[in-house]
Amino acid sequence: MEMHQKTNYPALYTLIVVFFFWGFIAAGNNIFIPFCKEYFHLDQFQSQLIDFSFYTAYYLGALVLFAFGMLRGKDLVTSWGYKRSIIYGLIFSAIGAGAMILAVEADIYIGMLVGLFIVALGFSLQQTAANPFAILLGDPKSGDSRVNLAGGINSLGTTIGPLIVSFALFGTAAAVTDNQIKNLSMDKVVLLYTCVGLLFIGVATLFYLSKKLPEGKSVETIEKSTKALKTLIVITLLLFVCLAPVFQSYRSEDNKKINEMELVLEKREKELQTTTDFSAKGTINQEIQQLQSDKNTLKAKIENKRIMWLAGALFSVIGGLVFAYFQSKKNKEGWGAMRYPQLILGMIALFTYVGVEVAIGSNLGELLKSKQFGGLHASEIAPYISMYWGSMMIGRWAGAVSAFQLTRQKRMFLIILMPIIAFSIIMLANALAGYEVTNLYYYFICVVLQIAAFFMSKNKPVRTLLIFSLFGITALLVGLNTTGMVAIYAFLAGGLACSIMWPAIFNLSLLGLGKYTAQGSAFLVMMILGGGIIPPIQGKLADIIGIHWSYLVSLACFVYILFFAVIVKRILKKQHIDVESTVSN
């Protein structure tokens, strides 16, 4: 008689809280972005540095863990143990929450970025350990169901996060104009991060005191990948070389001149409104036009340089991985997991996937503030941000159905039911928070389209990626070519398209890697970097061509994911790997 390992439910429930944190903080950042833009007088690119700080920390944290592991010859996380690694990660995140509190108290934007960076460094360590730890807490055969359960709670965090952060910033659901934001008190933000920091410490203490938790230790030798490590280090250095001039340009003499011109323009426009002398009005108006022309010329010069350097940063990542792709084809020695083309192309796919997932949500607040999209204040966007990230929950709850052994009829029924339940929870949460949700009722049509896409995908990873990337492309094209609620629904539907992509990309990238699977997984986690690079690029493009058309960046990301879905099937077929029999969660 086969014995099944019992699931350690108390430990699993404690671990699930960690998954909730990741979603809560990440989605909550989407409310911080438009708030900080008004509060600290930032442009769209500068506001997107919240994402840059947060997601770059994931990359650097994973890279440092990999580099130290290579030097020591064994993986740090498995040598510490999953339990201790999660405790260390939680303590690190608590320190970041403390730094965030100090920065908020001092009204220093850069300090807030540092605080979020430290929080995310802790998350990087937690995420590296948490997924395999969830599998360790019970029968390995049912490990996927525990990971999917945790992922569903993570999505619940992304739904609630924007609502809680919005309440912390604006108090009630009552509209706060953008001009009033600069006078708001940040006391509730201090309280929010005090609670978050204490929760980090509390959960770390629970893990430490629990005697029944397995340590999750193992001593595994790391496969040597010196060429892969060197390539990643060069990519990192090139990123800093490309991004430094962009950051420095905000302190340049030309930028100071632009700021001075804006102050003079503001003063002259006030004079134009108050003066009654007709001839004086004409003179002031001419001066305003000249100043505006000079400012636009100077700004165009700076912005063109900034977008070129940002394009260089993007090329550093993608170009570096393409270089690895061709070099590893010539000689596989020293490349480790990067000897496999499906992994390298999958790394780019995950980079663009995280990039588009974050970029759509992070720039959504600015889009909704424009007149063509409702002219909302920063305090009114929370329901839309909540629905965008809630769209991830809608898709993931439906995707989790496949992890359970069910009859075909039950599976079909739950694939229809779970998205409806998830959509209802999102609407209810917003209604309880006091927000007007009638504008979101008809978004259910998009949910129905996603349910149809699930049935068409037939639970096969390549087919899933093809259909959902086409879903994303279609949604973005509709959004780019329309305005109003139709376009808003289309951009929100980008979340529905993204919801199921992570496991499909992850699974396809790791197929056939054998002993390099764990290392390949670590490389893929590093590609969360896309959330730190692509949103600021879209933000800077928004400063140049407008927020609406900046979504061309998001469209390009979906196009690459479609390309990956097509090419990876051919690559795996050449390696005699049966993709069709592989199940995507």
* Torsion (CA) 521, 564, 54, 132 in degrees, nearest 10: -20
Smallest Cα–Cα separation from 444: which of 416, 467, 423? 423
Same domain flag for 165 and 123? yes
Percent of the chain scoring above 70 in pLDDT: 91
The answer to the question of residue 1 being in a domain is no
Mean per-residue pLDDT, 265-273: 82
431 pLDDT exceeds 70?
yes
Q: What is the mean pLDDT of the chain?
A: 85
Q: CB within 8 A of 283, min separation 6: which ones?
A: none
Instruction: Among 38-47, 211-220, 375-384, 478-487, name the one with the lowest average pLDDT.
Output: 211-220
Q: What is the number of residues in the chain?
A: 585
- Same domain assignment for residues 376 and 525: yes
pLDDT of residue 22: 84
**Hunting for tokens 């990230």 — which residue is that?**
389
pLDDT top residue among 563 and 126: 563
Question: Does residue 477 sit in the same domain as residue 399?
Answer: yes
Q: Examine the pLDDT at 218 and tell me if it is beyond 70.
A: no
CB 80 within 8 A of CB 180: no
Q: Is the pLDDT of residue 148 over 70?
A: no
**Of the residues 287, 316, 334, the one at which a domain ends:** 334
The single-letter DSSP state of residue 221 is B
Share above pLDDT 90 across residues of the chain, in percent, rounded to a whole number: 36
Tens digits of per-residue pLDDT, 76-107?
Answer: 787 888 888 889 999 999 999 999 999 988 88
Residues 55 and 127 in one domain: yes
Burial of 282 (0-12, 13-18, 19+ CB in 10 A): exposed
Q: Look at residue 427 in the predicted model and tell me its pLDDT.
A: 93
The 10s digit of each residue's pLDDT in 401-416 is 766 667 888 888 988 9
Q: What's the pLDDT score for residue 477?
A: 97
Q: Per-residue pLDDT for 72 more than 50?
A: yes
Q: What's the whole-number mean pLDDT along residues 301-326?
A: 93
User: What are the C-alpha distances in Å from 242 to residues 15, 112, 152, 354?
Assistant: 38, 23, 37, 21
Give the range with max mean pLDDT: 47-56, 163-172, 298-307, 490-499: 490-499
The segment with the largest mean pLDDT, out of 41-45, 432-436, 570-574, is 570-574
- Under 8 Å between Cβ of 460 and 582: yes
Query: Given this model, what pLDDT does residue 506 score?
Result: 83
Give the domain-ending residue among 282, 315, 334: 334
Confidence of residue 527 (pLDDT cuts 50, 70, 90): very high
Over residues 316-324, mean pLDDT: 95
What's the whole-number mean pLDDT along residues 545-566? 95
Residue 19 has pLDDT above 50, yes or no: yes
For residues 325 and 339, membership in a common domain is answered with no
* Contact (CB, 8 A) for 399 and 500: yes
Predicted local confidence at residue 352, as pLDDT? 96
**Backbone φ, ψ for residue 240 (5° rounding):** -65, -40
Using 50, 70 and 90 to split pLDDT, how confident is the model at 2? very low
Judge whether residue 582 has pLDDT over 60.
no
pLDDT at 517 over 90: no
Q: How far apart are CA 418 and CA 413, in angstroms?
A: 9
Q: With bands split at pLDDT 50, 70 and 90, how would you rate the model's confidence at 216?
A: low
Flag whether 579 is in a domain: no
Domains contained in the chain, number:
2
Same-domain pairing of 185 and 138:
yes
Mean pLDDT of 282-290: 84
> 580 lies in a domain?
no
Note down the domain range covering 39. Answer: 9-216+335-574
494: in domain: yes
C-alpha separations of 70 from 67, 148, 237, 275, 524 in Å: 5, 31, 19, 71, 17
Q: DSSP string of 501-544?
A: HHHHHHHHHHTT-GGGHHHHHHHHHHGGGHHHHHHHHHHHHHHH
- pLDDT for 244 equals 92
Same domain, 184 and 301: no
Residue 389 lies in a domain: yes
Q: Is the residue at 221 inside a domain?
A: no
Model confidence at 585, in pLDDT bands (50, 70, 90)?
A: very low
**Residue 3, pLDDT score:** 47
Same domain for 173 and 289:
no
Q: Are 414 and 406 in contact (CB under 8 A)?
A: yes
Residues 494 and 354 in one domain: yes
Q: State the pLDDT at residue 140.
A: 62
Q: Which of 334, 358, 389 is the last residue of a domain?
A: 334
Task: Tell me the mean pLDDT in the region 228-234.
Answer: 93
**What is the model's pLDDT at position 1?**
38
Average pLDDT over residues 535-553: 92
pTM, two decimal places: 0.86
Query: What CATH number is associated with residue 38?
Result: 1.20.1250.20
pLDDT in tens, 434-484: 888 899 999 999 999 999 998 898 778 889 899 999 999 999 999 999 999
519 and 386 in a single domain? The answer is yes
* 393 has pLDDT over 90: no
- Which residues touch 371 (CB under 8 Å, ≥6 apart)? none
Q: Do both 59 and 78 map to the same domain?
A: yes
Could you give the CA distance from residue 101 to residue 90 in angstroms, rounded to a whole number? 17
Same domain for 192 and 89: yes
Residue with tokens 């840059």: 52
**Is residue 239 pLDDT above 90, yes or no?**
yes
Residue 582 lies in a domain: no
Task: Indicate whether 4 belongs to any domain.
Answer: no
